[in-house]
């Protein structure tokens, strides 16, 4: 089952997609923020073109587990996506996804000049992999 993830930002939206088995997350693209409705429509077009059955929207939470300003904006985007489609939309904690994406670039040895710019698609990948890992543990091992 393919799963699409969105890292919603004020300027860009990072998009990541799982492999067909729903095990590995990969960066897909970055969309420019236009409006909630236009963003939701673009996300749905991508999800449908890749046969995604679930859309994960990253939501930032504060230290008490409550949505931040950006987290509430992410929830409104998720609601807009859900209102336009039957594809299941899930909010997922995105805390530290950008920091983890930056760390991944360092670990991969990216040159300093390539570390500049957006990390949105990598942050979406971190969010998606977190979701996949959490839900993979919930499924029984089919080999046993």
Question: pLDDT tens, 12-38?
Answer: 999 999 999 999 999 999 999 999 999
Cα distances (Å, whole numbers) of residue 40 to 35, 46, 82, 116, 135? 8, 10, 9, 27, 25
CATH number of 2-138: 3.30.420.140
pTM value is 0.82
pLDDT in tens, 76-131: 999 999 999 999 999 999 875 555 555 555 555 555 554 444 678 888 999 999 99
pLDDT above 70: residue 54: yes
Contact 30, 15 (CB under 8 A): yes
Residue with tokens 């409550």: 66
Task: Tell me what pLDDT residue 50 has.
Answer: 98
What whole-number distance in Å separates Cα of residue 59 and Cα of residue 121? 15
Locate the domains of the chain by residue range. 2-138
**Residue 86, φ and ψ in degrees, nearest 5:** -95, -5
């Amino acid at each position: 089952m393919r799963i699409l993830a969105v890292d919603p930002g004020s300027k860009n939206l990072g998009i990541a997609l799982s492999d067909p088995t729903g095990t590995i997350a990969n960066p897909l693209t970055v969309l420019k923020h236009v409006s909630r409705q236009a963003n939701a429509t673009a996300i749905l077009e991508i999800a449908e073109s890749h046969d995604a059955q679930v859309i994960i929207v990253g939501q930032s939470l504060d230290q008490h587990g409550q949505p931040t300003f950006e987290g509430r904006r992410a929830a409104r985007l998720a609601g807009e996506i859900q209102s336009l489609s039957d594809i299941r939309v899930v909010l997922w904690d995105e805390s530290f996804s950008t920091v983890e994406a930056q760390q991944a670039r360092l670990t991969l040895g990216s040159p300093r000049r390539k570390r500049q710019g957006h990390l949105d698609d990598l942050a979406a990948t971190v969010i998606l992999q977190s979701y996949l890992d959490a839900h993979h543990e919930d499924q029984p091992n089919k080999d046993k």
